[in-house]
A and B are shown apart, each in its own frame.
Chain A
Amino acid sequence: MILQADGLRKFYGEFCALDGVSLGVDAGEFVSIIGPNGAGKSTLINILTGITKPSAGSVRFKGREVGGIGPVRLARLGMARSFQLVQVFPDLTVLETLQAAGVARLGRGARLFASLAGDREVQEAALEVAELFGLADQRHMPARQLPQGDKKLLDVASAFALRPEIILLDEPTSGVSTADKTAVMETLVAASRRIGLRAIIQVEHDMDIVFAYSDRIIALHQGKVLADAAPAAIQADQRVIDTVIGRKAGAH
């Protein structure tokens, strides 16, 4: 198991957002987390990526307890994420954004007087990721000027630029037109092979995408794991169809 969560609980006051969630992700897996709004998906992702501290339970990444250690240290350990609501650096160009990830990955942020432009390793790595995600033509454009779809790609690309072992994607295709969703996913899969990613976890609402790419699907409902199985078994699970898939059809 590269990532393992046991008995995760999260309370917001009286409200129980997660009620004893356990899951594991193996090397080589592409796992999708699905569930209706309010099922606890975002809370779960935020706990797994260290942004939120669980009220109870543990998260182990590569055998090491990481619950609540924070996103900075998790990123250094080899876990990256992208956001549902796209997160970019508005005034930084595509290339600068990817360079920042490279600087962080190589631990060169303390180089106060070194020339960034002269750091060939960082420069080349950034360009490589930009090309991988089809952003090379816009590389000198500030992120705020990018079209929405490219902002989303840049958010994901900067996570990939960390060359993590595992990546958590919070709705990687939200805000992307239906026609472009498959292209985005193909880019993701190709990029993950290229950088040697060991596992992908995604939260996704588009069931076509979920069933097409997942090795395993975890369905959440009311803060609990409703089902955790291969796509074929999930598709046949009446409870999942009733609570998740049925409701989702046409909703997004």
Chain B
Amino acid sequence: MKGGLVVVAATAAVAVAPLVASTYHVLLMLPFMAYAVVLLGLNLLFGYAGLVSFGHALFVGIGAYTGAFLTSHGKIRSLEVILVAAAALGALVAVPVAALCVRYVKIYFGMLTLAFGMVFYTFVLKFYRLTGGDEGTPFLRPSLLGRSLDAMPKIDYLVGPYYYYSLAVLILAALGMWRIVHSPFGLCLKTIRDNPVKAETLGIGVTRYRFFAFVISAIYAAVGGALLGPPTGNVDPTLAYWTHSGNLVFMTLLGGFASFFGPVVGAFVFIYLQNWVMSIVPYWRLIFGAMLAVIVILAPEGLMGLVTRRRPAPASRA
């Protein structure tokens, strides 16, 4: 119950942020919310199924490019349509990728996802007509709930309607994921994470569950990826580069993969810390690398692990 109050308070704080915080900080919240959606999905795979993907930038890229392509080439501006299309395309690409990857575990799974990510990155870079190559594609300002907001100044649009739209998507994504991890499906995933041999003897088909977890995580990554586009107004291949996949894993570790909200906290801290460190020293990767080492050694359960000190209590009332 205490956890529930913290979540409500945090959500309320995010909701009032545009009224009290500086524009600079409010704008930083936009990538945070987009990444939070991505990581909620990634953690279904990481924290609940025990599979670490080093290729999820692929699906972030698919989401972002779907939006860029639809707004620039397709004359479709509706963000609802863009998000649905991103989710559908993410799932479509995830099906063959997942079917192959989930047959492997541990480092082999990680390397395979990395390989698919690299293939996609090269595709994005080389198919100039479709993607704009290394210059990327403009992500034109999407309309929200059928309302075109092109007349608004860009900053007003981002800290106003777009901010609350992102927050709504994040809340819906979190509610959906909360249901998934507390469903019979979620329990089966956890058995597979803990002991796949034992899970199989209980009649739980390991590859099938891993497959669905992978596809769901890809859908989340694509939706989050599409939300990343409008704030910058341009989508370029760095979004799909493998170091971006690494950042996603870093954020998850930073917040703590053993906790439901760990990755969300990780995304928040990562974004703000990155901006802060970058403003002080040019070598932010050096600082972040050192931080990652400290986290893995001293706090393997991440920031949430320091707060809760144990896995979240299961939601059983029997």
Question: What residues of chain A have their CB less than 8 Å away from a CB belonging to chain B?
Answer: 49, 51, 70-73, 75-76, 80-81, 83, 87-93, 95-97, 99-101, 103-105, 108-117, 119, 122-124, 126-127, 139-140, 142, 155, 158-159, 162
Q: Within B289-318, which residues are at the interface with A (CB < 8 Å)?
A: 311, 314-318
CB contact under 8 A between A71 and B180, given known A104-B188, A126-B318: no
Nearest-CB distance from A61 to chain B (Å)?
14
Contact A96 B316 (CB under 8 A): yes
Contact A71 B200 (CB under 8 A): yes
Instruction: Return the chain B residue nearest A112 by Cβ.
Output: B185
Give every chain B residue within 8 A of A139 (Cβ-Cβ). Answer: 318
Give every chain B residue within 8 A of A162 (Cβ-Cβ). Answer: 202-203
Interface centre among B198, B201, B204, B314, by most chain A C-beta atoms within 10 angstroms, is B201
Q: Give complex CA distance A142, B191 in Å.
A: 12
Nearest-CB distance from A14 to chain B (Å)?
27
Give every chain B residue within 8 A of A101 (Cβ-Cβ). Answer: 202
Instruction: Return the chain A residue nearest B179 by Cβ.
Output: A113
Contact B203 A76 (CB under 8 A): yes
Nearest-CB distance from B256 to chain A (Å)?
14
Q: Within B170-217, which residues are at the interface with A (CB < 8 Å)?
A: 176, 179-180, 182-188, 190-191, 193-195, 197-206, 209, 212
Question: How many residue pairs bridge A and B at CB < 8 Å?
Answer: 131
Nearest-CB distance from A160 to chain B (Å)?
11
Give every chain B residue within 8 A of A100 (Cβ-Cβ). Answer: 187-188, 190-191, 199, 202, 204
Contact of B184 among A91, A92, A114, A127 (CB under 8 A): A114
Give every chain B residue within 8 A of A112 (Cβ-Cβ). Answer: 179-180, 183, 185, 212
CB contact under 8 A between A89 and B200, given known A95-B318, A115-B182, A119-B184: no
Give every chain A residue within 8 A of B186 (Cβ-Cβ). Answer: 116
Q: Give complex CA distance A97, B195 in Å.
A: 11
Give every chain B residue within 8 A of A93 (Cβ-Cβ). Answer: 314, 316
Instruction: Return the chain A residue nearest B198 by Cβ.
Output: A87
Additional pairs, 18, CB under 8 Å, beyond known A99-B316, A104-B202, A155-B198: A75-B203, A80-B202, A83-B201, A88-B198, A91-B190, A91-B311, A92-B194, A95-B314, A99-B187, A100-B190, A103-B187, A111-B183, A112-B180, A113-B183, A117-B317, A126-B318, A159-B202, A162-B202
